[in-house]
């Protein structure tokens, strides 16, 4: 069995009001990654995810692209502590 890891990303650019969080939720669900995403007051989107390292790498790649209307300028990635999460939610 593969060990799970946790990652947190802060995504900057035109990422609010363009369906970014729902894009992340769809991609995470496809990858069987659990966690959540939310808008931050400073205009960024925060993503927290738990899953197999390979799947988190795939999710990170998608975050750099985003949905069609988004313009991703930067993605800051950090390791995080494993939290108990179920499914992938938009907050």
Indicate whether 67 belongs to any domain.
Answer: yes
- pTM assigned to the model: 0.95
Indicate whether 28 belongs to any domain.
Answer: yes
Radius of gyration over every alpha carbon of the chain, rounded to an integer in angstroms: 12
Look at the chain and report how many structural domains it folds into.
1
41: containing domain: 14-83
Burial 47-58 (b: 16+ CB within 10 A, else e): bbbbbbeebbeb
How far apart CA 29 and CA 13 sit, in angstroms, is 23
| Active-site residue identified among 21, 38, 44, 91 | 21
The structure tokens listed for 18 are: 């363009």
CATH number of the domain where residue 40 is located: 3.30.70.100
To the query of whether residue 39 is one of the catalytic residues in this protein, the response is yes
pLDDT digit string (tens) for 2-50?
679 999 999 999 999 999 999 999 999 999 999 999 999 999 999 999 9
Indicate whether 90 belongs to any domain.
Answer: no
To the query of whether residue 21 is one of the catalytic residues in this protein, the response is yes
Indicate whether 68 belongs to any domain.
Answer: yes
Neighbouring C-beta atoms of residue 33, cutoff 10 Å: 23
């Amino acid at each position: 069995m593969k060990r799970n890891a946790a990652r947190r990303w802060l995504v900057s650019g035109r990422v609010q009001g363009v369906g970014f969080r729902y894009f992340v939720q769809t991609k995470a669900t496809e990858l069987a990654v659990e966690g959540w995403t939310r808008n931050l007051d400073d205009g960024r989107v925060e993503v927290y995810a738990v899953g197999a390292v390979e799947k988190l790498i795939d999710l990170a790649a998608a975050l750099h692209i985003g949905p069609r209307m988004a313009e991703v300028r930067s993605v800051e990635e950090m390791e995080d502590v494993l939290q108990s999460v179920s499914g992938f939610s938009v907050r």
